Amino acid sequence: MRTQSPSLTTQRAAIDTMSVAVGVASALAAVALAGAAVGKSAPLEWPGIAMSAQILVVLAGLAYLAIRHLPRRAEGPAEEVVPLSAVVDLVTWHDAQGDVLRAGPASAALLGVPPAALQGDGLLKRIVVADRPVFLKALSDAANGKREVTVGFRLQSAPDASGRPAVVFVEMRVNALDSRDPAGGAAVIAFIRDVSAQHKHADELEAARHDAEKANELKGRFLATVSHELRTPLNAIIGFSELLGAEHPFLVTEERRKEYAHIIRSSGHHLLEIVNTLLDMSKIETGNFHFEPEPFDFRELSVSVCDLMQLKADEAGVTIERRLDADLPELTADRRACRQILINLLSNAVKFTPSGGKVTVRVSASSKAVVLAIADTGIGIPEADLPRLGDPFFQSGDVHRRNQEGTGLGMSVVRGIVGLHQGQIAVESGAGVGTTVTVSLPIRPVLDPAPAKPVVVQTRARVAARPAERKIA
């Protein structure tokens, strides 16, 4: 940003040249005046004098402008051609060791600190630790290679109102100085520019790409799951209805006719359940889920759902154990939505618990929330699948080889409903060691008028208990 002023000899030579030019112009004007006087052998007329005077004025003006615009002699060893206050980038001068000798005033706008705070290792200390090697290598390459080096790294600005420093993404261009500044001994000069906006835009593009890939993956899971879930009941409905409508009804006994009608009815209910689940999930995601909170007894609701699921548990050979506190406070929530939470979680527990297993339903209360915990002794969830638990249409294991029916939307619907109630959900599980799902619902939630997003499922891997070591006598 500084340049050496021209030498005194150069200035004098330029002035002498201008002086000679003015002298020649004046002589030519004088000759013109004399020629006019001799040629007419009479006193000079006014037009000739005026023209000559105009020529002298123009030449004198040109000479004055030329001399005025000569570079002035510097008072010191160097002078700024462009003020640093007009430069948007942060300009820093570094010595051979990388320490900052000087810094421009743009440090206040970029980092919120004065230039003096960056001197020495002040700039290095504000660089994120993981990015410091890149910064130092760029300075070294520029100083030794005598070429421009461009790198990007992160800087920490002055703390904000919360006391936490903000991270600024910057791009630095480093150039080696042809000759070291005699006043400061700088080896390289760096121009640091804030590129946080460009970095944010790149992150947004990456997030959009990730969302598009996730949506494509979700579409694939949807097609695989729904086609698998719809094919079996539809085949049953079509096949048994054709038998009932055959031309020889005597081939179908009254007992078989009732059996076929029961299969058709249960298959139709299964299809309706799938459609209702899809509609609920769509309403939750679009913010159109019918949500009417009111005070009610959550223990009474839990008893009714356990009674409803008891028949299914008996058919599967699974025991349902109830541990419901008697002094629960009234819960302000949507009764129908909470009933759906209980049905989804309890049916999943019974479904994935082998015959002879047990499902425990616990309902308790803390000072601010009602806590529901459903634990089973079933097949459990592998640790690798826990992070994806609750994603729409996701099911642990191979969807085409699983033994249990389901769309993989049960936990997704639970996530959405818990989010509407400003609650929390946690899952602890492991392969072969069962699963425990805990849902916390605020007793009096502070509901936001804006649609709530599905809550994040907090997961924890469960390890199988080791067999007790036998004591050696």
pLDDT for residue 452? 65
**Beta-sheet strand order (sheet of 100-103):** 100-103, 90-94, 188-194, 165-176, 149-159
For the domain bounded by 204-285, which CATH number is listed?
Answer: 1.10.287.130
Query: Model pTM?
Result: 0.50
pLDDT for residue 428? 92
Judged by phi (left if over 0) then psi (alpha if -120 to 50, else beta), residue 390 lies in left
Give the Cβ contact number of residue 244 at 10 Å: 13
Mean pLDDT, consecutive 10-residue stretches, the chain (473 aa), reads 45 54 56 50 48 56 54 42 62 91 90 91 92 92 86 86 80 83 73 91 88 76 69 84 74 80 85 79 74 89 92 91 92 90 91 93 92 93 81 57 56 86 91 92 77 79 59 34
The domain segmentation of the chain, as residue ranges, is: 2-68, 82-194, 204-285, 289-461
Domain 82-194 sits in CATH 1.20.140.10: no
Backbone angles phi, psi at 312, to 5 degrees: -65, -40
Place of tokens 């959900």: 425
Q: Is 146 helix (H, G, I), strand (E, B) or coil?
A: coil
For the domain bounded by 289-461, which CATH number is listed?
Answer: 3.30.565.10
pLDDT for residue 1? 47
Q: How far apart are CA 193 and CA 92, in angstroms?
A: 11
Q: Is 464 helix (H, G, I), strand (E, B) or coil?
A: coil
